Every structure is written in structure tokens, then in C-alpha cells.
């Protein structure tokens, strides 16, 4: 049996294990170890199982993951999500569809703290959905905007997914954060534009709320000052070269903890829950990364990535054509796999192809993350849709999926803009981190 045939069998076995709900990290480690044993030797497989968990976890760069997760947990405890929504609502809520636009902006802001799509969808769903229901918003718009807005958590820095992509490809985390900023702003603007178009075509979808006096608007904006401070210090510190990414994460966690203490929202129970949630999330991410690093040598031995790269090169497709093929492939995979799992599974296969084509790996990381965002709201999996369904139990799943489709189209437009104008992603890293 050829190495490529063994690799294909291994990939099918991995998909079967994921289908029966084995954790992806364990499934990749198991298949990878068996594959290395078959294609190389059992001793090599045992060596990888014995050394990789420590050698790939005891890396200083990995510290950024628990620190940014802890920062997001402290931000949720301190009520920063509610403050962000209150500020956005105060200035936009009196416009038609204003509550939905405020939800998008609040999701974008909270994403800059949590770095997690799930955390953004859960937090903003609990805060924003009751308000939109109170003003008789169409359930499709109310649920769709929360599911779509939550996806911004894996694009706008700091993003856990971008960190993992950097660790898998050995690219700069700082450059990826810089590259993700403008596309994140652009996608946020596209979501707001989508809300405006929907409410222009169907005014009953987003009735206007109450207009607040200027004094109350300014006060609400002042309530968002702690968020602005944290973002300015952490993300601004990275952009300005004052902090490394790890240092910025540590400072951000300290500032959000101080804010939670100042608001008297961080008691012993809340501190314990925040730390335990951070530990659980970090353990999950580390397990996936360890499994991916055990699985990658098996893929290399099978020569699947090399053969795919050679096949695509032989077709003499332009880079745009290959990106189009990858886009369609990711959209199909997104119907069945969760975005994080999709990235970890495909990066070892796709990355050599991207390198052979001469595509900038930093730009491709942003391209991949936006496509993964599309997978987060694509049927039939759409993990963000199921999160919103858990909050809005009375809304049928079909109505939620109907509501997210205009935002899915906005994501596709964002991807096409990024392909035609790659400078949108590359201008900041190229000018600020030469």
C-alpha cells in the first residue's frame, strides 16, 4: 500500500472518529500516532506521543492563549458587554434597525476583548436579544444579527483562532493581529450596512426605539470608557511596539480584573468560575494543538500535501483560481465541521499549497478566518446558530438560519474584496512591522 493510500485511510478514520464525537485533539493524536507507526516505525510513534505533549505545550508563545481567555472572562464578569451595548444603543437605538446595528457594534467591541465567537454570541445574545424582542424586532433579524455578529470574535484581534494559526504555521502573531484589524472593521461595517438595507426594504423588521437626551448618550459613552482604555492599552501597545503579544495579554487580563474589582463584580465565586473557565478553554485548545502536531508528521509521511500541491500546480491555475477552489471546499466543510476543527485539520494540508503558489501566509490566515466565520453560521452545523437557539428557544431553527443568510452574503462580499484588494489586510503589518 502506498503512503498516500495510507494517508487517505487515516483521513477517513479521523472523520469517522469525529462523527462519533471523539474530541478532535484525541482523534488527531490517535490517527497520527498509528499512521506514523505504519509509515515509519512504532518507536517513532511512541516517541512522538511521549515528547510532543510537553515540547509543544511548554512554549512561551502559548501563554498568550490563557491570558487572552482570562481577559475575556474578566470582561464578561465586569459587565463590559452590557456597557458597550448601552453606549451603542444610546446613539443608534432611535433609528430604524438601530438596535440591530448597536448589537453588531457591541459584538465587534466585545470581540476585541474576548477573542471568542462563542463568548461574543452568548454574552451579546443575553444582553441584546431581550431588548430587540421588547421593541418587536423581527425574530429573523434579531437572532441573525447576534449569530453573525458573534463571529467577529475570531477575526478582530486579539483572536484565539489567529493565535492558533500562527502557532501551526510559525507565523508572527503580531502581524496576524495587525492584518485582522481592518478586515474586522470592514466586516463590521458590512453587517451594519446589511441591517440598514434589510430595514429599508422591510421597515417592520426593525422598529425604532426611544431617542435619548444628549446628556444620557454622553453618559452611556462614558460607561464604555473602560473598554476603550483596555483596547487602547493592549491592542494599541502591540501596534506601537510597546508590548509583545504575551505582555499585552497579561496587561489586558490585569486591567479587566481591576475593572471587575472596582465595580465589585468579582467575588470569590466569580473569580473561581472565571479561572476554571479559562483552564477548561486552555486545556481544550492545548489538546487540539498537541493532536495537530502529532497528526502533521503522519500527513507529511503520507505525502498528501505535497501531492495536492503538485496536482494544483500542474493544472496551472492562477492563484485566484486556487483560492476559489479552497473557498468552495471550506464552505462545503463548514456545513459539517466546526470552524476551529476545520482550521486545525486543513492547515497542514493547505499551507504547503499556499506556499507553493507564493501567497502571503499572513493574508491567507485572514482569508481562512473569514471563511471559517462563514462556517460558524452555515447550515446544518452553524455552531453560533445553535448558541442563539439556546437563548431564543421560542424561535424555530429555520427562522434563525433564514435570518443569518443576508449576513452570510455580506461575509462572502468581504472575502471577495479581500481577494481583489489584498492590501486591506496587509497595509498595517507591512507599514508597522517591517
Residue ranges of domains in the chain = 3-432
Q: How far apart are the first and last CA of the chain?
A: 47
Average pLDDT over residues 134-159: 87
Q: Quick one: pLDDT band at residue 433, thresholds 50, 70, 90?
A: low
In the predicted model, what is the mean pLDDT of the chain?
A: 85
Average pLDDT over residues 29-51: 91
**Percentage, residues of the chain above pLDDT 70:** 97
Q: In this model, does residue 302 exceed pLDDT 60? A: yes
The reported pLDDT for the residue numbered 201 is 92
Enter the pTM of the model. Answer: 0.82
* 3-state class (DSSP) for residue 41: coil
Burial of 151 (0-12, 13-18, 19+ CB in 10 A): buried
Which one is predicted more confidently, 383 or 195?
A: 195
pLDDT in tens, 76-104: 888 887 888 888 888 887 888 888 998 89
Q: In this model, does residue 149 exceed pLDDT 70? A: yes
Average pLDDT over residues 406-419: 94
Average pLDDT over residues 206-210: 83
Q: Quick one: pLDDT band at residue 352, thresholds 50, 70, 90?
A: confident
pLDDT in tens, 153-182: 788 887 888 888 998 888 988 899 889 999
Average pLDDT over residues 239-245: 81
Q: Which long-range contacts (CB under 8 A, 24 or more apart) does 30-37 make?
A: 31/295, 31/298, 32/291, 32/294, 32/295, 32/296, 32/297, 32/298, 33/294, 33/298, 34/10, 35/6, 35/7, 35/10, 35/295, 35/298, 35/301, 35/302, 36/294, 36/297, 36/298, 36/301
Scan for cell 462563514, then name that residue.
374
The reported pLDDT for the residue numbered 434 is 55
CA distance 355 to 90: 47
Q: In this model, does residue 107 exceed pLDDT 90? A: no
Q: Quick one: pLDDT band at residue 408, thresholds 50, 70, 90?
A: very high
The reported pLDDT for the residue numbered 381 is 65
DSSP per-residue string spanning 395-426: S-HHHHHHHHHHHHHHHHHHHHHHHH-THHHH
Amino acid at each position: 500500500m502506498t503512503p498516500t493510500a495510507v494517508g487517505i485511510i487515516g483521513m477517513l478514520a479521523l472523520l469517522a472518529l469525529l462523527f462519533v464525537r471523539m474530541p478532535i485533539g484525541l482523534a488527531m493524536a490517535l490517527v497520527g500516532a498509528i499512521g506514523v507507526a505504519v509509515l515509519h516505525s512504532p518507536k517513532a510513534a511512541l516517541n512522538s506521543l511521549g515528547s510532543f505533549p510537553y515540547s509543544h505545550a511548554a512554549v512561551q508563545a502559548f501563554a498568550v492563549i490563557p491570558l487572552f481567555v482570562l481577559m475575556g472572562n474578566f470582561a464578561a464578569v465586569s459587565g463590559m458587554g452590557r456597557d458597550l451595548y448601552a453606549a451603542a444603543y444610546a446613539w443608534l437605538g432611535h433609528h430604524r434597525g438601530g438596535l440591530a446595528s448597536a448589537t453588531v457594534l457591541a459584538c465587534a467591541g466585545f470581540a476585541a476583548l474576548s477573542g471568542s465567537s462563542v463568548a461574543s454570541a452568548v454574552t451579546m445574545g443575553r444582553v441584546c436579544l431581550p431588548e430587540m424582542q421588547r421593541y418587536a424586532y423581527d425574530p429573523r433579524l434579531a437572532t441573525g444579527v447576534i449569530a453573525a455578529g458573534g463571529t467577529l470574535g475570531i477575526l478582530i484581534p486579539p483572536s484565539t483562532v489567529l493565535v492558533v494559526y500562527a502557532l501551526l504555521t510559525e507565523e508572527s502573531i503580531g502581524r496576524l493581529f495587525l492584518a485582522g484589524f481592518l478586515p474586522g472593521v470592514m466586516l463590521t461595517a458590512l453587517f451594519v450596512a446589511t441591517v440598514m438595507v434589510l430595514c429599508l426594504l422591510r421597515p417592520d423588521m426593525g422598529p425604532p426605539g426611544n431617542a435619548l437626551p444628549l446628556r444620557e448618550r454622553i453618559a452611556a459613552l462614558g460607561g464604555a470608557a473602560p473598554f476603550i482604555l483596555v483596547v487602547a492599552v493592549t491592542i494599541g501597545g502591540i501596534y506601537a511596539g510597546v508590548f509583545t503579544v504575551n505582555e499585552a495579554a497579561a496587561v489586558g487580563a490585569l486591567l479587566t480584573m481591576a475593572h471587575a474589582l472596582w465595580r465589585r463584580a468579582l467575588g470569590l465565586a466569580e473569580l473561581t468560575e472565571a479561572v476554571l473557565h479559562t483552564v477548561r478553554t486552555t486545556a481544550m485548545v492545548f489538546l487540539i494543538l498537541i493532536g495537530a502536531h502529532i497528526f502533521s508528521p503522519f500527513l507529511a509521511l503520507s505525502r498528501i500535501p505535497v501531492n495536492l500541491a503538485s496536482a494544483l500546480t500542474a493544472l496551472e491555475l492562477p492563484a485566484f483560481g486556487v483560492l476559489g477552489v479552497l473557498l468552495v471546499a471550506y464552505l462545503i466543510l463548514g456545513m459539517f465541521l466546526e470552524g476551529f476543527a476545520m482550521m486545525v485539520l486543513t492547515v497542514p494540508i493547505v499551507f504547503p499549497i499556499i506556499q507553493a503558489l507564493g501567497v502571503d501566509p499572513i493574508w491567507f490566515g485572514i482569508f481562512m478566518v473569514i471563511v471559517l466565520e462563514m462556517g460558524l453560521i452555515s447550515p446544518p452545523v452553524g455552531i453560533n446558530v445553535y448558541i442563539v437557539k439556546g437563548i431564543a428557544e421560542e424561535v424555530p431553527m429555520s427562522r434563525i438560519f433564514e435570518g443569518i443568510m443576508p449576513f452570510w452574503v455580506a461575509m462572502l462580499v468581504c472575502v471577495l474584496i479581500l481577494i481583489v484588494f489584498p492590501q486591506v489586510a496587509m497595509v498595517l503589518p507591512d507599514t508597522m512591522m517591517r
